[in-house]
Chains A and B, each alone.
Chain A
């Protein structure tokens, strides 16, 4: 994507999103824009509303106000399944893998959910789920780029946490989505695994027009990957900008970053 970030069309935009839990305002008229093929970081202290915003975008949570658009189409009223099929994929803070399936099956299923219809009658007769070569290509490429080839046939229940996170990212990408919401993907990963993840995300972005919305505690990881960063604090958006200006922003430093990035 050669266009400067500001000129790219928006793949996702949330405007005025408000969520209240009882008396608590978790999100207060939050606006967020993700241009096509762009990585947008979303940072903020614990309880700032990052995961709540993710749940609103992926449809698990109905907002009290505001709207969400995907490719300029209003999806505020769509169910999570419909949103997923239109191109929103996500990972979870706590692992939500399909633990009874193998690594490869996790990815295959995500690919099929987005791009294939299947019929019960064919499934019963055993002719419904023949491999197609495009599926194999997408899944194999992802397995290789995430360095998961060796464990493709292992059930995900037996994987270590870090590997599990990579599988979750792989599953999100296997759906060939427009945008992937990554909820703290590097939590629990060691340095090597974090590098592998960052590399895989860069490669995925280079190879397609997929956009990422990235929530992360590891500030260096976010600022290193993102082209634009939004900062949430107590349910309000307090800053938007490129990583350098966010690093320098005094409000942000006061609210969140503090000494963490001075290293």
Chain B
């Protein structure tokens, strides 16, 4: 613990030096045009990441393939944070409840009513939307902090009222859920499911990328900057927040259904409010503003948890959460998360390398 804290102190000092060296305001977004000559720094990590993700199950044994497959299901749920918190600028602590609604609905429809699994997962997403819309009504009325508290109480309410219903909870046993199948092709093998989940993730990530560039995306950015200016410009804050929350609830619902099918089990207790807070901290640590952040966060959470439980005594298991808590604090340094921080450091490193080779090139503050 002491080591962690000391490390953070030093990191903080270094960050301050960096900041004082840069002229531009810290939170200023990077001008896109200026990135032209730095493009390789975006393309290379993206290519590397894509290759790794595609090769994933081929490089890993069955056990670890299972772990990363579960991670992909989490990553899909985490995309819901990318929309509501990353794009919408709203703190939501109840995304996990939307995922729980999706998981429960999928299990009920598929196992109890015999729906095809794919259809049940979609329906789970759709059923989560009204819950998202309900929370959005709060979001329109409440400020940042109060919204955080209100969403937390919503999540606790879901824990205690909805998730306790006997038909869903089955005395703590949950409801069995099968893996999806298309025709005769079943996804009972983790590696197969991995690629199905990856496809779903990519589709959602592309939709989010489109959204970000669209008028709705611009409106969300405008509301993040100034709500009063947005309203007097004719942008409906209520409608835009409703859109963000509903969409995020749909994605979380679908992700929850997929996580449950990965686990063969929809257990409401797996979607409790406290775990939801850890989830947000993890996503925020890796990058709330990009789909890559959600992907890495989703994969990292179960992998790190497994590594910790393999190598450390049980009493240290909490360290994972502590680590991510500290990661979230590290946001003070780079609000866009770890991945953006690494990118920034790559740029600084490159600038330094170039400077030693060619004194004419000066370091550019990012």
- Seen from chain A, the residues whose Cβ lies within 8 Å of a Cβ on chain B are 58-60, 79-81, 83-85, 88-90, 92, 96-102, 105-106, 108-110, 112-114, 116, 118, 120, 122-126, 128-129, 153-155, 157-158, 171, 175
Contacts and interface: CB of A to CB of B under 8 A. Distances in A.
Contact of A118 (B215, B225, B247): B215
Given A109-B233, A175-B234, A100 B215 contact: no
B216 A123 contact: yes
Contacts of B41: none
A230 to B, nearest CB: 21
A101 B221 contact: yes
10 contacts: A59-B231, A59-B232, A83-B232, A84-B234, A88-B232, A98-B221, A105-B218, A123-B210, A123-B211, A157-B25
B215 A116 contact: yes
Given A97-B225, A124-B210, A157-B28, 19 more contacts: A59-B231, A59-B232, A80-B232, A81-B231, A97-B229, A98-B230, A100-B225, A102-B31, A106-B222, A109-B222, A113-B234, A113-B235, A114-B234, A120-B216, A126-B214, A128-B215, A155-B29, A157-B25, A158-B25
Given A109-B215, A125-B210, A153-B32, A158 B233 contact: no
A89 B215 contact: no
B214 A84 contact: no
Contacts of B228: 60, 80, 92, 96
B224 interface: yes
Contacts of A110: 233-234
A92 B231 CA distance: 13
A118 B233 contact: no
B203 to A, nearest CB: 10
B152 to A, nearest CB: 27
A59 B234 CA distance: 12
A109 B225 contact: no
Given A109-B219, A157-B28, A90 B232 contact: yes
A92 B211 CA distance: 29
A31 B247 CA distance: 46
Contacts of B32: 153
A126 B209 CA distance: 9
Contact of B224 (A80, A100, A108): A100
A216 to B, nearest CB: 19
A113 B214 contact: no
Given A100-B221, A101-B225, A171 B233 contact: yes
A116 B31 CA distance: 27
B24 interface: yes
A197 to B, nearest CB: 18
B243 interface: yes
Contacts of A118: 214-216
B13 interface: no
A97 B218 CA distance: 13
Contacts of B217: 123
A155 B230 CA distance: 17
Contacts of A124: 207, 210-211, 214
Instruction: For the complex of A and B, list the 8 residue pairs with the smallest distance between their C-beta atoms, beginning with the closest.
Output: A84-B234, A113-B234, A123-B214, A126-B210, A96-B229, A98-B222, A80-B231, A96-B226
Contacts of B215: 109, 112, 116, 118, 123, 128-129
B235 A109 contact: yes
Nearest to A168: B229
Contacts of B222: 98, 101, 106, 109
Nearest to B239: A81
B27 interface: yes
A126 B231 CA distance: 25
B33 interface: yes
B213 interface: yes
A153 B213 CA distance: 15
A117 B28 CA distance: 30
B137 to A, nearest CB: 16
A84 B228 CA distance: 12
A108 B222 CA distance: 12
A155 B233 contact: no
A128 B214 contact: yes
Interface in B190-217: 207, 210-211, 213-217
B37 to A, nearest CB: 15
Contact of A60 (B213, B225, B232): B232
B186 interface: no
Interface string B229-257: 11111111100000100010000000000
Nearest to B32: A153
A165 B232 CA distance: 16
A47 to B, nearest CB: 21
Contact of B28 (A89, A106, A125, A155): A155
B226 A97 contact: yes
Contacts of A59: 231-232
